[in-house]
Amino acid sequence: MEFKRKDLLGLQELKKEEIELILETAKPMKDLFTRTVKKAPALRGKTVVNLFYEPSTRTRISFELAAKRLSADTINVSATASSVVKGESLIDTAKTIESLGADVVIMRHPFSGAPHLMSKHISSSVINAGDGTHEHPTQGLLDLFTMKEKKGKIKGLKVGIVGDILHSRVARSNIWGLNKLGASVHVIAPATLIPKDIESMGVTVHYRIEEIIEELDVVNILRIQKERQKELLFPSLGEYSAVFGVNTEKLLHSKKDLLVMHPGPMNRGVEISSTVADSPLSVINEQVTNGVAIRMAVLYLLSGGENENIA
C-alpha cells in the first residue's frame, strides 16, 4: 500500500489501513537502532524544518533525530528566536520556509488548526507536532506502536486514558487511533476535565479509576495542563492527586501485566507517583524510543517511500 498524503495533520482523517502502514513501517526503522551505523539514506537531499511555537523536549528532539537517521538536512526554528517576535504572520513564516526549500515542515502551535492553515499555503509536507487541544498524531501513533509491540495486538484491548482529557491533544489522537484499530477506550477524570461531547468519539466515561482498573490492559496517564486552564477546574493539585493520581494503591487490583504509559512531560507526585512511573509495568522510556521509529516512518512515507525499500 502507498501512503498518498501530502501532510500528517491528525489521526481523525487517517484510514485504519494508513495507520497500520505507519506502524508496520516503523518496525524496520526501529531495527536500525541496533545497527552499528544507525542511518539509512532514504531522505538524502531532503530538508526538514522543525518549527515550534511551544516548548517541547521529546517531540522536537525525536523528529530531529528521526530526520538525521534518514540522512535529511535538518533546521530548527524556535518561534521565540525568529521573526515571529517581530510580528511576522504564520503564513508569511510558512512562505519564507517554503522559499528556503523545505520539503517537510514539522509544526507545533498553541492554536488548534494552525498546521492545517499552514498546509493550505505551502507545497511542502506539513506534520502536526501538536496543535492546541486538537491532535498530536505522532504521539498517538507511538502510543499505538508501543501497545502493539507489548501486547501483540490493539484489537480487543481495554485502554484507560486518565487525567486532563479536556485539554489533551494526546487523548484525542489516542481515541481516534485506538477506535479505528478496534480497542475499547475508557476516559477517567473529574467531570470538569471531560469535554461534554466526548462520548460521541466512542469512549466510555468514568469518574473514578477504581470503577474500571481491574479490566484495563493499558493505562495512559495524562499531564495536568495548568498552562491551558483558564479557570480552576479542581480544588487543588493535592486533592487531584489523592483522587485521580495513579499510585500503587490505585493499581492494587489491576491486571499483573497492565501497561503503564505517559506521553511526558510527567508531573511526578501529581498525576503519577514515582513508584508507578519507575515500576516494571511502566513503558514510558520505551515510548520515547519508539517515538523516533514512528517519526522516521512518517517522514519516510510522506517523502514517497515504500515499505519494502527502507535501507
- Applying CB under 6 A, the residues found at the interface with ligand CP are 56-59, 130, 136, 139, 263-265
Shorter beta-carbon distance to ligand CP: residue 61 or 243 = 61
Asked if residues 59 and 139 have their Cβ atoms less than 8 Å apart, the reply is yes
* Closer residue to ligand CP (CB): 56 or 96: 56
Q: Which of the 8 DSSP states describes residue 75?
A: E
DSSP conformation letters of 148-166: HHHHS-STT-EEEEES--T
Q: Using the minimum distance from each CB to ligand CP, give the nearer residue, 213 or 246.
A: 246
- Closer residue to ligand CP, CB minimum distance, 125 or 128: 128
In the complex, least distance from residue 277 CB atom to ligand CP, rounded to whole angstroms: 14
Give min distance, CB of 265 to ligand CP, in A: 5
Report the SS3 class of residue 16.
helix
Q: Note the Cα 246 to chain centre separation in Å.
A: 20
| C-beta of 40 vs 299, nearer to ligand CP | 299
> Distance between alpha carbon 97 and the CA centroid of its chain, in Å?
24
- Give the chain's end-to-end CA distance (angstroms, integer): 18
Buried b (16+ CB within 10 A) or exposed e, 240-258: bbeebbbbeebbeebbeeb
**CB 55, min distance to ligand CP, A:** 7
Distances (CA, A) of 275 to 245, 251, 261, 281, 282: 12, 11, 13, 10, 10
Q: How far is the CB of 262 from ligand CP (least distance, A)?
A: 9
Q: How far is the CB of 287 from ligand CP (least distance, A)?
A: 8
The Cα 142–Cα 129 span in angstroms is: 12
Q: Closer to ligand CP at the Cβ: 106 or 157?
A: 106
Write down the least CB distance from residue 260 to ligand CP, Å.
15
